[in-house]
Every structure is written in C-alpha cells, then in structure tokens.
C-alpha cells in the first residue's frame, strides 16, 4: 500500500485506533508522518507504520496542494480537512 501526502487515513492499531489523520510525508516504504491538528499537531507529527493505517479513499485537496507547493500547513487546516470524517468511524 502506498500513501501520499494529503491522504486521509484511519488508524488500525495502537492507542489512536479508529482516529483519522492526514499523511504529512512519506518517509520510506514502511513509515509515514501523520497529524490530526488536535492531539498530533503539525509541529509534532507521529511516525507510524503504513501497515497500521487504513486508506479512506479521500484526499484533503487543500492540504495536499499546500504540501506540494512547500507552503506551511496549519492545525486549523488539518482540523477542517478531518471535520467530515469524524462521523464515519468504520475501523
């Protein structure tokens, strides 16, 4: 499974199981950095294995565009992108 910056994922394992995050960067084939703008803020992203994440099929287009252009992504940007996902807990 390959993840790209800006994709919305849900956690399948760990303390954060069932929560939604935005992929901030891909480190390598096994690891990504994720944030949610609440508990995991932009200045302290979480390093998580890809096998512990599930794709939602949704991309935060605004966040992905900012990451692609090298612009600063803020915590409110992430919270806004994830606001619709909180109602869909399917993990």
Element housing 7 (H / E): strand 7-11
**H-only helix segments in the chain:** 61-69, 75-82
With 0.75 as the threshold, say if the pTM is over it. Answer: yes
Tens digits of residue pLDDT in 6-54: 999 999 999 999 999 999 999 999 999 999 999 999 999 999 999 999 9
């Amino acid at each position: 499974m390959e993840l790209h910056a800006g994709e919305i994922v849900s956690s399948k394992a760990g303390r954060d199981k069932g929560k939604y995050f935005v992929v901030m960067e891909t480190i390598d084939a096994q690891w990504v950095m994720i944030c949610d703008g609440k508990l995991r803020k932009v200045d302290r992203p979480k390093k998580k294995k890809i096998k512990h994440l599930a794709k939602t099929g949704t991309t935060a287009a605004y966040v992905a565009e900012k990451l692609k252009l090298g612009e600063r992504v803020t915590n409110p940007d992430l919270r806004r992108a994830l606001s619709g996902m909180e109602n869909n807990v399917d993990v």
